[in-house]
DNA sequence: GCTACTACTTTGTGATCACAAACATTAGAT
DNA sequence: ATCTAATGTTTGTGATCACAAAGTAGTAGC
């Protein structure tokens, strides 16, 4: 029956306040983000519906939405799967993150008030704690929250959806990398970013954000490392 | 029955080779892109299904996909509409275009070969013709093709979907602006871009692309102009 | 005349069914 | 033994139906 590896998805409790489609969407999104689904593995509507114990309809809609966000890929065969990664594509995604996120940071800078600064500081402190506890999942989650909190300071923000799309595409492979290398320690560039924010220095902020992104992925950026994790994606 | 303005959508012939959902998606996408649907106008599944003479199902999927691309907005009420524009948001969209597209251009530059250069030259020539004929629709369509041809030279391109999302969000308002101002003539920055490409000068190319985008929207960028077209969106 | 409650309509959501294309498997011919 | 043709199964697509939430209108009460 299961020709491929059985899909294992972490199911969260379904809140009755949200629609089934939204719940399925969030569940699948997390599964992709945390690399629970192997790239190249064909996803069928009915199989997922069976796993999550819902009708095929919400799954259909969630899959289409994730495909529109480039988290999934619909081939000509109408088959849906997590897109496979290549070294060049990985590099392009990282460079795109740097270009867009440093832009978003600079655009958000003028809007950062005391309250937002407070929020960023507390997130930074939490990240330090998580780093001391060596909790990789927590680190990457808080790191996302930090970046999101920074960019959303701009009330006319339009780039966050684009940035989240890039995170989604990189997600599975960041995870695979962090799983393999638990000895990585990343210099805390957030302190530099905080200093730049307090000085309202847009250029310094862009430098700090760029460095943060570059170092966050540097441990996966060596050609050998990349090669190995890409090979892991092949059947 | 029609409490709001009746929706008028240009329907193209449906090719049997594509699925109904794809056809509906393309039709609605064009309608949004060309400003055929007023921002703020509530879109209902059944109404659109009736107009396009299909069942509600393909419309549902197409709407969700367009919403995922930020072309439509789903409010808390579950109502779907073309998002309203504000002057600040318009500005953010333009700045985002400049940041991402100049990045994409620089990243594509090393991959441009003779064939691609030829293609860009012929597109440039077509734009000149359309400009001579004062065919605004043709100009903006060809302009898009020019940019797309440039960015897709990079075989590991990952930013084009993001760029298209920005085009979609700006689309309706570019159209409104060009309709109101038929006296605008834009300096042909494509020649500068072509020169930069032939010299393989990434920095000059970024300058040219930025200028092209900035001038393409400059006629709508004056506060009065913007104010008027945003007012037009209100009921 | 204005507000609040109720009945009615509209609309999105989700399940089920029918169907055709894609896929896998098996049988037959060279 | 290998390639091809035929058969059976799986899967996405699209239509229809049931239902609950949101919206609308109409009426009673102050």
Q: Could you tell me the residue ranges of all domains in chain B? A: 20-81, 87-231
Give B105's contacts in chain A (Cβ within 8 Å).
none
CATH of B20-81, one of 3.30.70.580, 3.40.50.300, 1.10.10.10, 3.20.20.80: 1.10.10.10
> Mean pLDDT, to the nearest integer, of A32-50?
89
pLDDT (mean) for A133-150:
85
pLDDT at site A124: 87
What's the pLDDT tens digit per position in B110-168? 999 889 999 998 998 888 888 777 777 788 888 899 999 999 999 999 999 999 999 99
Give the pLDDT mean for A46-54. 92
Domain B87-231 in the same topology as domain B20-81? no
pLDDT digits 0-9 by tens, B186-217: 566 788 888 888 888 889 899 989 988 887 66
3-class secondary structure, B159: coil
Average model confidence (pLDDT) across chain A: 83
Residue B56 burial by Cβ neighbours in a 10 Å radius (0-12, 13-18, 19+): middle
Q: Which residues of B make CB contacts under 8 Å with A?
A: 60-61, 64-65, 67-70, 86, 88-89, 91-93, 95-96, 99-100, 103, 107, 154-159, 161-162, 165-166, 169
For the stretch B62-86, pLDDT in tens is 999 999 999 999 988 788 999 988 8
- What pLDDT digit, counting tens, does each position of A183-199 carry? 455 566 788 888 888 88
Q: Is B81 helix (H, G, I), strand (E, B) or coil?
A: strand
CA distance B115 to B122: 11
Alpha-carbon distance of B213 to B211, in angstroms, equals 5
Whether the Cβ atoms of residue B51 and residue B7 lie closer than 8 Å to each other? yes
Cβ pair B98, B210 in contact under 8 A = yes
User: Closest nt to A42 (CA→C1')?
Assistant: D11
Please tell me the distance from the alpha carbon of residue B4 to that of residue A28, in angstroms, as a whole number: 37
Tell me: domain B87-231, CATH 3.40.190.10, correct?
A: no
- Partners of B61 on chain A (C-beta within 8 Å) are 60-61, 64
Are residues A30 and A74 in contact, defined by beta-carbon separation less than 8 angstroms? no
A103 Cα to chain B: minimum distance (Å)? 7
Q: What is the sign of the dihedral through the CA atoms of B76, B171, A157 and A151?
A: positive
Q: How much is the pLDDT for B28?
A: 94
| A17 Rama sector, left if φ>0, alpha if ψ -120 to 50, beta otherwise | alpha
Question: For the residues B58-63, what does the mean pLDDT come to?
Answer: 95
């Amino acid at each position: 029956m299961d020709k491929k590896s059985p899909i294992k998805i972490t199911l969260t409790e379904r809140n009755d306040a949200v629609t089934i489609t939204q719940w399925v969407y969030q569940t699948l999104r997390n599964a992709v983000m945390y690399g629970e689904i192997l790239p190249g593995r064909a996803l069928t509507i009915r199989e997922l519906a069976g796993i999550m114990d819902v009708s095929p309809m919400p799954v259909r809609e969630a899959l289409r939405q994730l495909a529109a966000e480039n988290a999934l890929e619909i081939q000509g065969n109408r088959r849906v799967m997590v897109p496979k990664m290549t070294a060049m594509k990985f590099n392009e995604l990282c460079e795109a993150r740097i270009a867009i996120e440093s832009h978003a940071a600079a655009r958000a800078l003028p809007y950062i008030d005391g309250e937002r600064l407070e929020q960023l500081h507390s997130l930074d402190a939490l990240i330090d704690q998580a780093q001391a506890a060596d909790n990789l999942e927590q680190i990457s989650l808080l790191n996302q929250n930090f970046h999101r909190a920074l960019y959303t300071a701009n009330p006319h923000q339009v780039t966050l959806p684009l940035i989240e799309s890039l995170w989604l595409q990189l997600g599975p492979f960041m995870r695979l990398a962090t799983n393999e290398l638990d000895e990585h320690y990343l210099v805390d560039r957030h302190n530099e970013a905080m200093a730049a924010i307090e000085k309202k220095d847009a250029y310094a902020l862009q430098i700090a954000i760029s460095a943060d992104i570059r170092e966050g992925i540097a441990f996966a950026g060596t050609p050998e490392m990349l090669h190995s994790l890409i090979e892991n994606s092949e059947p």
